[in-house]
Structure 1
Amino acid sequence: MSWMTDHRPPPSALPPAELAGWVQGQLNRGMEWSEIRRARFRRFATLIKLLSLAFSVASTVILGIQDLDFWASLAFSLGAVGVAISAVEPFFNWRARWVLMEESEVRLRRIRDELEYFLARTPPEAIRFEDVDPYFQRSQEVRTDISRRWLDQRHPDQRGM
Structure 2
Amino acid sequence: MQASNGPGAGLSPSETAVFLLGKIRQGNDYARLRKQRFRRSASVIRVATLALSAASTVILGLQNLNTWAGLAFALVALGTLLGAVEPFFNWRSRWVLMEETQYRFQRLADDLEYLLASTAVDELTHDHLREIFDRYQTVWDDLSRVWLEHRREPAPSAGA
> TM-score scaled by structure 1?
0.91
Find out whether 1:96 has 2:93 as its counterpart: yes
Identity among equivalent pairs (%):
45
CA distance in 2, matches of 1:143, 1:90: 24
CA distance in 2, matches of 1:92, 1:25: 31
How far does the alpha carbon of each residue in 1:73-104 deviate from its partner, in whole angstroms, 9 at most, with x for none?
00000000000000000110000000000000
How far does the alpha carbon of each residue in 1:27-75 deviate from its partner, in whole angstroms, 9 at most, with x for none?
0000000000000000000000000000000000000001211000000
CA distance in 2, matches of 1:137, 1:24: 13
The equivalent position to 1:118 in structure 2, one of 115, 131, 141, is 115
In the alignment, structure 1 segments of 5+ residues that lack a partner are 1-8
Q: Aligned AA for 2:105?
A: L
The number of residues matched between the two structures is 152
Q: Aligned AA for 1:76?
A: F
Find out whether 1:63 has 2:60 as its counterpart: yes
The equivalent position to 2:80 in structure 1, one of 54, 79, 83, is 83
Task: State the shift of 1:125 in Å.
Answer: 1.6
CA distance in 2, matches of 1:116, 1:81: 50
Find out whether 1:148 has 2:145 as its counterpart: yes
Question: Residues 128-143 of structure 1 correspond to what in structure 2 (within 5 A)?
Answer: 128-143=125-140
CA distance in 2, matches of 1:82, 1:113: 44
> TM-score scaled by structure 2?
0.92
How far does the alpha carbon of each residue in 1:4-38 deviate from its partner, in whole angstroms, 9 at most, with x for none?
xxxxx724210011101111001000000000000
> Which position in structure 1 is the counterpart of 2:15?
18
CA distance in 1, matches of 2:55, 2:8: 58
Q: Aligned AA for 2:145?
A: R
Q: Aligned AA for 2:9?
A: S
The equivalent position to 2:124 in structure 1, one of 121, 124, 127, is 127
SS at match of 1:39: helix
CA contact (8 A) 2:24 2:105 kept: yes
**Structure 1 residue runs of 4+, over 3 Å off?**
none
> Which position in structure 2 is the counterpart of 1:107?
104
Find out whether 1:28 has 2:37 as its counterpart: no
RMSD over equivalenced CA pairs, Å: 1.2
Q: Aligned AA for 1:104?
A: T
SS at match of 2:10: coil
> Which position in structure 2 is the counterpart of 1:37?
34
CA distance in 1, matches of 2:8, 2:43: 41
